[in-house]
Amino acid sequence: MKRALITGVTGQDGSFLAELLLEKGYDVHGTIRRSSVDFRERIAHLEGHPHFHLHYADLGDSMSIMQVVSKVRPDEIYNLAAQSHVQVSFDSPEFTADVDATGVLRILEAVRLCGLAGSCRIYQASTSELYGKVEEVPQNERTPFHPYSPYAVAKLYGFWIVKEYREAYGMYCCSGILFNHESERRGETFVTRKITLAAARIAQGKQEKLYLGNLSSLRDWGYAKDYVECMWLILQQPEPDDYVIATGEQHSVREFCLLAFRRAGIELEFVGEGENEKGIDKATGRVVVEVSPDFYRPTDVVNLWGDPTKAKKELGWDPTKKTSFEELVNLMVDADMAKVAVERAGEQVKLNLEEYLEKGIVK
């Protein structure tokens, strides 16, 4: 039985990857961090599985990394742990550098010091943000990098140190340069999930308006569950290498909004420009989307579009046979419509109970 270690198992990708590896018969070990509130909802359904194990470790703490690597002695490590929010990286640049850059080095050194350099394969979660202020469109493995945020600069170090250890020590370590991938498990402050949750809340009368930043920003958005398959495929190749993983399609934030609100039952029309642009509910004339400069970034990446030709040819991974853009938007909105409906039902039960208690119907 192969042993895999996933750092960042509580995240969107970590949870999907853990499911995939368990299905493939792996013994799966994941790292978690201590927190004052226990927030592990993405992996709650896996806890108790006989081949799913959790260990405390922090990418900022070499000793904890050494400890978990020496204890698990994994055949494969998937390094997904990161401060992954680009906007937050402007507010916490040093923490982001420590975790997203030096953290990668800590993993590589732990593997070497534990004598696993010849046996343990390592996947590093690299990112399309490396292309940043893009130098060509679409972007492939040969496109020059131009990182454009503290997050991207930290991830650039991660990318290069992985390449360095591959060349210097012959280690099997690879980067997946993944373009944006989303899901019903996406963090609520990333733009796609922020939109699907707001569309569901507005449609069910629980929110008035959605405030967004740059509506014209372009992304190549795929489905996270499809993308974790590539992480595994990348580590199964005869030779270690780096791969772009993308759909090969590009859409704007505005387009994402239009589809999401439509799925929630609201037909939108955008009018105006720049900070004055508004999304109007065509049926009622009500403004439901507005622009707020609070969500503008000091430097923003606005033109990401991946070319997945190499992954298609060498990994046999074909994005045209995977979840389409519209299917992705729909599945995210459907999940949030259900989540909001459950929340509303819960609130109603609470109101009823309060009323019954007040009237003495229940004691």
Q: Which residues bind ligand NAP (CB under 6 A)?
A: 7-8, 10-14, 31, 33, 58-60, 80-84, 99, 125, 127, 178, 180-181, 187
105 sits in which H/E element: helix 103-113
> Which residue's Cβ lies closest to ligand NAP?
11
Question: In DSSP terms, which residues pair with 218 in a beta bridge?
Answer: 252, 303
Give CA–CA dist 71/138, Å, rounded. Answer: 43
Residues with a catalytic annotation lie at 127, 129, 151
CA 222 to chain centre: 10
Peptide bond into 138 cis (omega under 30): yes
Q: Which does 187 bind (CB under 5 to 8 A by kind): ligand F7E, ligand NAP, none?
A: ligand NAP
10 binds, among ligand NAP, ligand F7E, none (CB under 5 to 8 A by kind): ligand NAP
Residue closer to ligand NAP, measured from CB, 193 or 254: 193
Q: Whole-angstrom Cα distance, residue 102 to residue 163?
A: 14
Smallest distance from the beta carbon of 130 to ligand NAP, in angstroms?
A: 9
Read off the tokens for 171: 């280690």
Residue 196 CB, nearest approach to ligand F7E (Å): 12
Cβ proximity to ligand F7E, 72 vs 234, nearer residue: 234
**CA gap 329, 306 in Å, rounded:** 19
User: Closer CB to ligand NAP, residue 26 or residue 78?
Assistant: 78
**Identity of the residue, 84 or 247, whose beta carbon is nearer to ligand NAP in the bound complex:** 84
Residue 194's binding partner out of ligand F7E, ligand NAP, none, with CB under 5 to 8 Å set by partner kind:
ligand F7E
Cβ–Cβ under 8 Å, residues 15 and 42:
yes
Interface contacts to ligand F7E, rule CB under 6 A = 84, 86-87, 127-129, 179-180, 189-192, 194, 212-214, 217, 219, 253, 295, 297, 300-302
- Residue 96 CB-density burial (10 A; 0-12 exposed, 13-18 middle, 19+ buried): buried
Nearer to ligand F7E, 29 or 219 (CB): 219
In whole angstroms, how large is the CA radius of gyration of the chain?
22
CB of 319 to ligand NAP, least distance (A): 14
Rounded CA-CA distance 238/12 in Å is 28
60 binds, among ligand F7E, ligand NAP, none (CB under 5 to 8 A by kind): ligand NAP
Question: CB–CB of 147/155 below 8 Å?
Answer: yes
